[in-house]
Amino acid sequence: MVLNHSPPPGLYITGLGSQYPPYLLGPEKLEEFAARFYDVESPGLCRLKKLLQINRSSGIETRSAIRSYESGFATRPEAPTISELAEFYHQAGVDLTTQACKKALRESQISPQHVTHTIGVTCTNQGNPGFDLLVNRKLGLSANVDRMLLHGVGCAGGLAIMRAAAQIACGASMRRKPVRILAFACELCTPNVRHDLAFAEKAPNAENISIAGALFSDAAAAFVLCNEYAMAETEITPLFQLLEWGNSLIPDTVEHMAFFADVDGYRTVLTRDVPQYTKHAIGPMFEKLLPSYQSQIQSSSGEGVGEVAKSLGVSDFDWALHPGGEAIIEGAKQVLGLTEDQLQASREIYRTRGNSSSATVLIVLDRLRSLGKREYVVATSFGPGLAIEMAMLRRCEVDED
């Protein structure tokens, strides 16, 4: 077989920014909060007690939250409506996203007026026009910016917007046009905790409860992706070169993860079988993308075939694994044979901030810059479908030490 060593895509991440809200909630806070509205010691509330048990054993020490459990919606006897959650998101969520975007733009040394495209994603807000329009206006972007807002991708959203940005940038390169794409994700999950508790109480049995109320947190993240024509107009050193990406559905798993508007508020479906499916999906996706990734490295390095086409494997990469839960991290570690060193960024974010849905994998990638040391990087996340997203990158600056 003859490999086609075509030039790699000239796609570069030039800035990353993440923003957490100011509050950190330990596991005990959820228990105190639940006790305000339920007799958690009642034998009839075994399903809710199961959720609180999972909360204590999740491996999360603190979750980031946009508000404490002593203010706002948490102090009211009734749960917030979807319209109230939307109004709150359009203020607090937009502010959080704007802060993350400003960090990414500042690192990229790109002024808001030079952004050509924006791609946003969230699953905790709905509406038309989308929240991305509010973010763009707050940043002072041009009215001519090409906007895109993704929906329905859940926790996979951070890499779904990276995939969309890559495809747009490649199309622009074919037309020899520079693009500077600002992509962002924001999730406010903790305002929905009253609904999480209510749905746990009503679950058919303790084995079928959603564990969302014990895992999810709030955060925003952003990155700037430029093609080679935009890079020719700047002197900054990019952070990563994006060389390969892909996504796929895991067959017959659609019922295991969902997030949707119900009559009583937003409802999360997250079954205990998710880790079993996700851990077995990572390896095949990695092996599918690896040959093309190695080919792109060879084309960009100018080295001989024998030197560059060496057998890269799982152990050669730093991993930005979406920390969807302790079982997801442990499952990937077991099946792929990963070391704690390769997973340290995912572990740290999960332990100290929890799972912030679509924004999380981008935050892990951001954290990996100072924790990781390998030249090769792979990021992967999972969302409803079940869907797996993966991106393979190469550090543009590697610490030889």
Residue 37 has which token pair? Answer: 């509205």
The CA distance from 182 to 31, in Å, is: 39
Smallest CA-to-CA distance from 64 within 34, 100, 94, 20 is with 20
pLDDT value, residue 358: 97
Mode of pairing for the β-strands spanning 117-121 and 146-150: parallel
The CA distance from 268 to 195, in Å, is: 9
The class that CATH gives domain 240-395 is alpha beta
Return the H-helix or E-strand segment holding 326.
helix 326-336
C-alpha R_g of the chain: 21
Percent of the chain, pLDDT > 70?
92
**How high is the mean pLDDT of the chain?**
90
Return the H-helix or E-strand segment holding 185.
strand 180-188
Mean pLDDT of 244-255: 94
pLDDT value, residue 399: 53
User: Per-residue pLDDT for 59 more than 80?
Assistant: yes
User: Per-residue pLDDT for 247 more than 70?
Assistant: yes
Question: How does DSSP assign 29-88, residue by residue?
Answer: HHHHHHHHHS-TT-GGGHHHHHHHHHHHHSS-S-EEESS-TTSGGGGSSSPPPHHHHHHH
Higher pLDDT, 275 or 218: 218
| Buried-exposed string 60-98: b where 16+ CB fall within 10 A, e elsewhere | bebbbbbbbbeeebbeeeebbebeebbebbeebbbbbbb
| Segments making up each domain of the chain, as ranges | 13-231, 240-395
Percent of the chain, pLDDT > 90?
70
How does residue 250 score in pLDDT terms, banded at 50, 70 and 90?
A: very high
pLDDT value, residue 301: 64
Least confident of 13-22, 95-104, 155-164, 233-242: 233-242
The CA distance from 332 to 337, in Å, is: 8
pLDDT value, residue 306: 42
User: Per-residue pLDDT for 45 more than 80?
Assistant: no
Say yes or no: domain 13-231 is CATH 3.40.47.10: yes
Instruction: Answer whether 13-231 and 240-395 agree in fold.
Output: yes
Q: Are 348 and 371 in contact (CB under 8 A)?
A: yes
pLDDT value, residue 206: 64
Mean pLDDT of 120-136: 95
How does residue 124 score in pLDDT terms, banded at 50, 70 and 90?
A: very high
- Rounding to the nearest 10 degrees, give the CA dihedral for residues 188, 191, 196, 197: 150
**Is 155 among the residues known to form the active site?**
yes
Count CB atoms within 10 A of the CB of residue 244: 23
Burial class of residue 175, CB neighbours in 10 A (0-12, 13-18, 19+): exposed
pLDDT value, residue 304: 47
Burial class of residue 304, CB neighbours in 10 A (0-12, 13-18, 19+): exposed
Given 101, 123, 155, 189, the catalytic residue? 155
pLDDT value, residue 302: 58
Task: Give pLDDT tens digits for 150-200.
Answer: 999 999 999 999 999 999 999 999 999 999 999 999 999 999 988 888 887
pLDDT value, residue 305: 42
User: Per-residue pLDDT for 3 more than 60?
Assistant: no
Mean pLDDT of 240-244: 96
Residue 277 has which token pair? Answer: 């499916």
